[in-house]
A and B are shown apart, each in its own frame.
Chain A
Amino acid sequence: MNTYRRPHPGTQPDYDYPPYVSTAKRHPTRPLVRPPQTLSELTGPMFGHGDVKSTDNDLTCQHKGEPLGERIIVGGRVLDEDGRAVPHTLVEIWQANAAGRYPHPTDNHDAPLDPNFSGAGRAVTDAQGRYRFLTIRPGEYPWRNHYNAWRPAHIHFSLFGQAFLTRMVTQMYFPGDPLLGLDPMYNCIADESARKRLISAFDLKSTVPEYALAYRFDIVLRGRAATPMER
């Protein structure tokens, strides 16, 4: 069985990152152990089209009325590090509403909840690794990490891929957001090009005229260490 590649230097965050204050008491302080990858890590839970409903990728149709805010389409492909599609894999998302508020008991930001928006969606990629969500552009919101801290607009993404080792949770950002340079979460990634890959791209050809603009966000999961022979 082929093992998975180690992360490229600088492309993944460290656990201890003082600008994000909550890491202080939540990062391991002892050296991590580096074991070989075994069958236990080279396999992982498999989810497919039977695990989601066909409407789970539409965050605008989960209630009686339409949510407030700007409708957007968010789509892209899930690939491995060799550029191969990762088909039939589960993608879970969650996000704030257009006002920058989550329907969550611990979110006490003074911005309105939207009774027509829960902010959670799921999709399974097709044979080409493609996924697509219809949602609302999320709002920015303040948090208490430091004085006048605001999170840039973002959507949380959770992916499984084909193995325990391809499991990933990330966040998608929007192009041109002036808060990105000030955001510890975005800046925890040392490598600038790796940071920028978390910013979606405006995607004119996927827009639906008179209905919704579109953003493209391709996600790359860890790839295999040994590349099979090209056919």
Chain B
Amino acid sequence: MRLYASANQTVGPYLHIGLTWLVTRNIAGASVSGERVTIQGRLLDGNRAGVDDGMVEIWQANAHGKYAHPEDRQKKPLQRGFKGFGRIPTDARGAFRFTTIKPGRVPGARGGLQAPHLVVSVFMRGLLKHLATRIYFPDEPSNAEDAVLKLVPAARRSTLIARPKSRGVLEWNIILQGKGETAFFDY
């Protein structure tokens, strides 16, 4: 039997009603080992206005570079209590903020290791299908050899790399249109 995947539809303006119960702003509890980092930023539309009815979801590996998922068969340790999932709504300014640990390196599609990264889904009214992107870390030598980052036109790569803001805090904005438009992925 061959079926086709159901069509996506926008989350609309009232997404909070159904989705807020699972909001997770601290992805890694205190017992989870790794370098702690807070990532904050804004979700900005084509007028550079903050999107106040948006939401981001994060998926990431633990500090060893292991996903809490049965299809990650690497011989690396899992961490009790670490799922690797975050769901963060934007506020009235379109701002979002979450805390986690920097993930370890995970395998790439054709061998080798990827640079540490978080994968991100972006949802909002006016978006008929969620957007996919990634957050990479600054001052990370392995960014230069990351196969996914290399596929992004050089002038746009910086849109995927968070910037140091203060001690333990990184800034990463999602810009939907125009100058500095975030690189989004199509899988």
Could you say which of A11, A22, A25, A92 contacts B5, with CB atoms under 8 Å apart?
A: A11
For window 140-169 of A, CB contacts with B under 8 Å fall at 156, 158, 162-165, 167-169
Stretch at the interface among A63-71, A101-109, A123-131: A101-109
Report Cα–Cα, A13/B151, bound state, in Å.
25
Size category, B interface: 35 or more
Could you say which of B22, B148, B176 contacts A28, with CB atoms under 8 Å apart?
A: B176
> Is A168 in contact with B5, judged by CB distance below 8 angstroms?
yes
Report Cα–Cα, A80/B4, bound state, in Å.
8
Q: Confirm or deny: A139 has a beta carbon within 8 angstroms of a beta carbon on chain B.
A: no
Could you say which of A37, A43, A106, A222 contacts B69, with CB atoms under 8 Å apart?
A: A43
> Is A165 in contact with B187, judged by CB distance below 8 angstroms?
yes
Which residues of B does A touch, CB under 8 Å? 1-19, 21-22, 45-47, 49, 51, 53, 57, 59, 61, 67-72, 83-85, 106-110, 114, 117, 119, 121, 123-132, 134, 147-148, 151-153, 156, 176-178, 181-187
Return chain B residues, CB-CB under 8 Å to A39: 67, 71-72, 106-107
Which residue of the partner chain B has the closest CB to A14? B128
The answer to whether residues A40 and B8 also contact, given A25-B176, A33-B152, A82-B1 and a CB cut-off of 8 A, is no
> Is A104 in contact with B131, judged by CB distance below 8 angstroms?
no
6 pairs of A and B residues whose beta carbons are closest in the complex: A94-B18, A22-B126, A83-B1, A25-B46, A36-B109, A43-B69
Chain A: minimal CB distance from B113 (Å): 10
Q: Confirm or deny: A189 has a beta carbon within 8 angstroms of a beta carbon on chain B.
A: yes
